[in-house]
A = this chain, B = another copy of it.
Amino acid sequence: MADRVFNFNPGPATLPYEVLQQAGRDVVNFKNTGMGLIEISHRSKEFIAVCQETETNLRELMGIPANYKVLFLQGGASSQFFMVPMNLLGPGKKAAYLNTGVWSKKAIKEAKLFGAIDVAYSSEELGFRRVPRSGEYKVADDAEYLYYVSNNTIYGTQFPDVPQSDKMLVSDMSSDILSRPIDVSKFGLIFAGAQKNLGPAGVTLVIIREDLLERSPANIPTMLAYKTHAEKESMFNTPPCFAIYIMGEVLKWLKKLGGVDAVAKMNAEKASRLYAAMDASDYYRGHADKDSRSLMNVPFNLPTKELEAKFLAEATALGLCGLKGHRSLGGCRASIYNAFPLEGVVKLTEFMADFAAKNPAP
């Protein structure tokens, strides 16, 4: 693995190397069937076993209560932006949304097609550099749910805790699911695109409280009702087999690592080292307010655009790849999801100190 780089991409993102190696073999010949993983029927006993093991491990890792269904869907988190309100709202019904970045803004836009949306909080005027504390906003009594994005990949903010509310919570956890323990029973629905902490692009995880399956209006397309997929265990139609398989391998890797508590400690350690390197001087400027900082995505700027370009080029040459920032903030962004190794963070922080010393601000 001499040629492997440290991959700071925001998603699709780095995956455990042992998962890739196993996938490389299974794609050609899966469990000695004489067929590749992507050639076998989704209704074969081999693939059904993959799905079942994946669900079992996810339930164990997240502590998902028995009255929740686990669904493997397609269409990305972007499809959940409309599926959530399409299934859970309806004419005259209301929901509260916390607007903390691009992804919540898009979700609010789609939700408005299906109900009355109350934006209970927005940090847009602050450049989305913070998330609210519980108590900073009011949720209308007649809101069906409170929606929030737990981690914001672009602005590098993250809710430090689950918002306190007597309302059912709905959360887009695409970029921090399984990175720390959460109490699933506080949620009506959790969803996550896979391509950060779960696996490759192409599958979207939905965890939904069973009683909510009955809420869908009768006149929506079959494929868009959660109930359709819950009743058929995500096999109403052909599921995205490869992406589910990789998710399964990632979950096995996470279990071996010690589960969510163990990885949460490692994530805290990685982020703490990276923020310490940033805070050591005024050279690197983070975007997020300190008490809203994300443990997953760390955007930062250098004194000038020229220095940023030089930093990125030299980092890439050292095998520190994918550090280019999102176009809305420019500069740099280090995404350090579950599978990103501490070793890569150490190397980055050393490079940051070295670069700042050699390239003083003008």
Residues in chain A within 8 A of chain B (CB atoms): 3-5, 7, 9-15, 20-21, 23-25, 27-29, 32-36, 38-42, 44, 74-79, 81-82, 86, 106, 109-110, 113, 193, 195, 199-203, 219-224, 236-243, 246, 319, 321-322
Q: How long is the Cα–Cα vector from A247 to B132 in the complex, in angstroms? A: 44
Known: A7-B39, A113-B219. 9 other contacts (CB 8 A): A12-B38, A24-B24, A24-B25, A39-B200, A78-B237, A81-B223, A110-B223, A201-B239, A242-B242
Task: Report the copy number of this chain in the oligomer.
Answer: 2
What are 6 residue pairs bridging A and B, where the CB atoms are less than 8 Å apart in the complex? A12-B39, A14-B35, A74-B240, A75-B75, A78-B237, A202-B240
Q: Is the beta-carbon distance between A76 and B78 smaller than 8 angstroms?
A: no
Nearest-Cβ distance from residue A112 to partner chain B, whole angstroms: 10
Q: Is the beta-carbon distance between B202 and A242 smaller than 8 angstroms?
A: yes
Q: Is the beta-carbon distance between B20 and A36 smaller than 8 angstroms?
A: yes
Residues of chain B within 8 A (CB-CB) of A74 are: 74-76, 79, 202, 240
Nearest-Cβ distance from residue A101 to partner chain B, whole angstroms: 15
Nearest-Cβ distance from residue A276 to partner chain B, whole angstroms: 27
Q: Is the beta-carbon distance between A322 and B41 smaller than 8 angstroms?
A: yes
Nearest-Cβ distance from residue A88 to partner chain B, whole angstroms: 14
Nearest-Cβ distance from residue A37 to partner chain B, whole angstroms: 9
Q: Is the beta-carbon distance between B5 and A202 smaller than 8 angstroms?
A: no
Q: Is the beta-carbon distance between A41 and B221 smaller than 8 angstroms?
A: no
Q: Is the beta-carbon distance between B200 and A35 smaller than 8 angstroms?
A: no
Residues of chain B within 8 A (CB-CB) of A38 are: 12, 15, 20, 23, 199-201, 246
Contact of A5 among B5, B34, B42 (CB under 8 A): B34
Q: Is the beta-carbon distance between B221 and A110 smaller than 8 angstroms?
A: yes
Q: How long is the Cα–Cα vector from A199 to B36 in the complex, in angstroms? A: 12
Residues of chain B within 8 A (CB-CB) of A246 are: 38
Chain B, residue nearest A237 (CB): B78
Q: How long is the Cα–Cα vector from A14 to B21 in the complex, in angstroms? A: 22
Residues of chain B within 8 A (CB-CB) of A202 are: 74, 202-203, 240-243
Chain B, residue nearest A47 (CB): B12
Q: Is the beta-carbon distance between B9 and A82 smaller than 8 angstroms?
A: no
Nearest-Cβ distance from residue A34 to partner chain B, whole angstroms: 4
Residues of chain B within 8 A (CB-CB) of A39 are: 7, 9, 12-15, 20, 200
